[in-house]
């Protein structure tokens, strides 16, 4: 089966030169490459309220549909691990500042914590960040989106349920009807 570092390299190609630095380090694009620590994050990156918000927003980026979403795929733990063990302090700043800006905007607009806001309100807050309509919004959104997508598509759920993994894809059929293709394959 494909390992996470190989999957990270594939994701790195998808984002190109705009790749968030911790993802590039974990994919082996920065030298030297330390071994991946499989344990928990070495430091706590988020406060409890920030962690709750990061978890809620990751599910808004990749929600549960007919396949599991970001939370089921372990994306929040992946994000904290990446920021704790693969990010430099300056890499963490836009994520933490963005979460704080979203929280402040939620308190101002909805008078509730962003983690407890409705999905529609969370979507509106993410849209404001994406459109750079809050302090550091665009920088936060691009890095956060990359972390969520990378965490999801390098997880077991992302590789085996969202996509279909076939170590040996079977026979060649040059006349396979496109209408029967139902998933994208990864290897």
Query: What are the tens digits of pLDDT across the range 22-52?
Result: 677 666 655 555 555 667 777 889 999 999 9
Are 117 and 74 in contact by the 8 Å Cβ rule? The answer is no
Domain ranges, residue 32: 4-186
Q: Which of 37-46, 63-72, 130-139 is predicted least confidently?
A: 37-46
pLDDT at position 180, please?
Answer: 75
Q: Which two structure tokens, joined as six digits, stand for 82?
A: 């990446």
Residue 141 clears pLDDT 70, i.e. is over it? yes
What is Dmax (Cα atoms) for the chain? 58
Q: Which residues of 133-172 are buried (b: 16+ CB within 10 A; e: fewer)?
A: ebebbebbbbbbbbbbbbbbbbbebbbebbeeeeeeeeee
Query: What are the tens digits of pLDDT across the range 79-123?
Result: 999 899 888 888 899 999 999 999 999 999 999 999 999 999 999
139 Cβ contact list (under 8 Å, min separation 6):
94, 98
Measured CA to CA, the distance from residue 23 to residue 8 in angstroms comes to 7
Measured CA to CA, the distance from residue 59 to residue 120 in angstroms comes to 12
pLDDT at position 44, please?
Answer: 85
Indicate the number of domains in the chain: 1
Q: Which of 24-33, 129-138, 156-165 is predicted least confidently?
A: 24-33
Q: Where are the alpha helices (DSSP H) in 29-88?
A: 48-61, 75-85
DSSP state for residue 101 in the 8-state scheme: H
Measured CA to CA, the distance from residue 147 to residue 21 in angstroms comes to 10
| Arithmetic mean of pLDDT over the chain | 83
Beta strands in the chain (DSSP E): 164-165, 185-186
Where residue 56 falls among pLDDT bands split at 50, 70, 90? very high
146 or 185, which is more confident?
146
pLDDT at position 42, please?
Answer: 76
- Angle between helix axes 75-85 and 137-153 (nearest 10 degrees) is 110
Q: What phi and psi values does residue 164 have, to the nearest 5 degrees?
A: -120, 125
Give Cα 172 distance to the centre of its chain.
Answer: 34
Measured CA to CA, the distance from residue 38 to residue 85 in angstroms comes to 10
Q: Is the dihedral of CA 93, 94, 95, 101 positive or negative?
A: positive
């Amino acid at each position: 089966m494909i390992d996470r570092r190989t999957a990270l390299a594939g994701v790195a190609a998808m984002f190109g030169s705009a790749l968030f630095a911790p993802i590039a380090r974990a994919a082996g694009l920065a030298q030297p490459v330390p071994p991946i620590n499989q344990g928990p994050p070495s430091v706590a990156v988020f406060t409890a309220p920030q962690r709750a918000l990061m978890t809620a927003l990751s599910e808004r980026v990749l929600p549960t549909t007919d396949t599991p979403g970001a939370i089921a795929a372990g994306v929040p733990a992946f994000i904290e691990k990446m920021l704790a063990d693969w990010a430099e302090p300056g890499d963490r700043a836009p994520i933490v500042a963005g979460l704080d800006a979203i929280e402040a905007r939620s308190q101002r607009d909805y008078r509730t914590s962003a983690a407890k806001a409705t999905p529609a309100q969370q979507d509106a807050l993410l849209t404001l960040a994406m459109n750079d309509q809050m302090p550091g919004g665009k920088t936060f959104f691009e890095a956060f989106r990359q972390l969520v997508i990378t965490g999801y598509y390098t997880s077991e759920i992302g590789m085996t349920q969202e996509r279909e993994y076939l170590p040996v894809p079977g026979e060649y059929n040059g006349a396979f009807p496109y209408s029967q293709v139902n998933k994208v394959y990864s290897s």
